[in-house]
Amino acid sequence: MTDKIKVLIPEDVVTRRIKELADQISKDYEGRQVHLICILKGSIVFSCDLAKRFTVPVTFDFMSVSSYGNETVSSGRVRILKDLDESIQGKDVLIVEDIIDSGNTLSYLYDLLSSRSPNSLNICTLLDKPDRRETDVKVKYVGFEIPDEFVVGYGLDYNQFYRNLPYVGVIES
């Protein structure tokens, strides 16, 4: 993979914003514990960098989902590839996602997890493409709103590559 990648959000800007988000979340959850749910694989990089800066206690769990996307007539259907290891009942759950595009994945996950009786349930995403929204999602924490462009880096991939880039970029054609 040797595509030319144009930087959209430089590393220092991402780092600064993640610190702000972590400060805000730590403040909002003061006196409680955050049960962070990392949505594999895209949100691994963001989840780690965010959680490193929490001043509240944090536990992790992981979930892997695959969206049927455009392959089916009725979008919004999501397949669970790996479910959580632990129960979330009574916990203060924070879903961490890399990007919200159509919103179909997150709205499905939000409904699924709220049916499992957490004490609270919120969503934090690094990136948001509001122009692409098909399903409304209640997102509490957003790193950056971005235009409708396909981005890579900071956990986001193109054919599984570029997740390790320390910045968010766009592949130049």
Which of 21/168 has CB closer to ligand IMP? 168
Query: Which one of 38, 42, 124, 165 is in contact with ligand IMP (CB under 6 A)?
Result: 42
In the complex, the smallest distance separating the C-beta of residue 127 from ligand IMP, rounded to whole angstroms, is 8
98 belongs to the catalytic site:
no
CA angle 43, 45, 46 (to 5 degrees): 65
Query: Cβ of residue 100: shortest distance to ligand IMP, in angstroms?
Result: 5
Q: What is the rounded CA–CA span in Å between residue 101 and residue 42?
A: 13
Of residues 107-166, those binding Mg ion (CB under 5 A)? none
**CA distances from residue 115 to 40, 89, 118, 137, 167 in whole angstroms, order as listed:** 21, 9, 8, 16, 35
Which stretches within the chain are classed as H helix? 11-28, 44-52, 104-114
Comparing CB distances to ligand IMP, the nearer of 56 and 171 is: 171
Residue 52's alpha-carbon distances to 22, 40, 118, 124, in angstroms, are 9, 18, 23, 15
The nearest distance, CB 172 to ligand IMP, in angstroms, is: 14
Residues pairing with 120 in the sheet? 92
Q: Which is nearer to ligand IMP, 29 or 110 (CB)?
A: 110
Residues in the site for ligand IMP, rule: CB under 6 A?
42, 67, 97-106, 150-151, 156
Residues marked active site are found at 101
